[in-house]
Amino acid sequence: MEASLLFERFESRLKKQILEFIGDREDPFDLEFLMNQCLQPVSDIMIHNALCELADEGKIIRLNDRYYLSTRVLMRRWLRQKIKNLEDDVIFDELEIPRRLIRQVTRLLKERPELGYIDVADFVRDAIRRAVSKLRM
Amino acid sequence: MPKTIAKTEAEYAPVKIPKSLLDEVDKAVGKFGYRSRAEFVKDAIRSLLREYGMYKSESEEG
């Protein structure tokens, strides 16, 4: 068998192994990380080339000059965020509040952090809950 | 006319409220004579600000 063919097979197997290894990895990874994790004696140039090919094929995303992330992980995160936004649209409704009142609430939040309100919406929700329960009594 | 729209946008800001809580508000609006959700919510905010001694009416704000 020709040496170039063997080399091609090896490259293809390396790419496959790298992809299997980082396919579900949530954290970004770099060449150094793969070098340390690699059980076979593979040169950094070969891993670098494999990463470039995987990036060209869209299987991993190049985040910057050093780090990469699996496209599957990125897509999963993006979908998760999209679903969360959709859920928010179903669960929440927007209400127009006069800015004059919002300014007063903002001032209260700044001056009285011990009250524990996270933001204006948190205060407004508490105000509504209290008003509703007062009317029930 | 555009002047009025700009003024309205500047005077109000959207706040996200859970729909379940707004359902409670809707029940109270019908039952206790409030004209709208917005009126109920504004009243609730004023009331809690007053409780913390931080409410200022428009005239007090100047």
Q: What is the DSSP letter of A29?
A: B
Q: Is there a contact between A44 and A35 (Cβ–Cβ < 8 Å)?
A: yes
- In chain B, where the domains are located: 16-61
User: For the whole model, what pTM was predicted?
Assistant: 0.56
Q: What is the ipTM of this complex?
A: 0.82
Put simply, the answer to whether B18 touches A91 (Cβ < 8 Å) is yes
* Tokens matching residue B13: 């800001």
**Higher-confidence position of A7 and B46:** B46
* Tokens matching residue A2: 């020709």
* Band (B1; pLDDT cuts 50, 70, 90): very low
- In chain A, where the domains are located: 3-75, 94-137
Closest CA to B56 of A132, A129, A134, A108: A108
Concatenated DSSP letters of B1-60: -HHHHHHHHHHEEEEEEEHHHHHHHHHHHHHTT-S-HHHHHHHHHHHHHHHTT----HHH
Chain A positions touching B47 (Cβ under 8 A) are 127, 130-131
Chain B positions touching A112 (Cβ under 8 A) are 52, 54
CATH architecture observed for domain A3-75: Orthogonal Bundle (1.10)
Chain A positions touching B49 (Cβ under 8 A) are 101, 104-105, 108
Put simply, the answer to whether B25 touches A128 (Cβ < 8 Å) is yes
Nearest CA in chain B to A102: B13
pLDDT digits (tens, 9 = 90+) for B10-37: 789 999 899 889 999 998 888 888 899 9
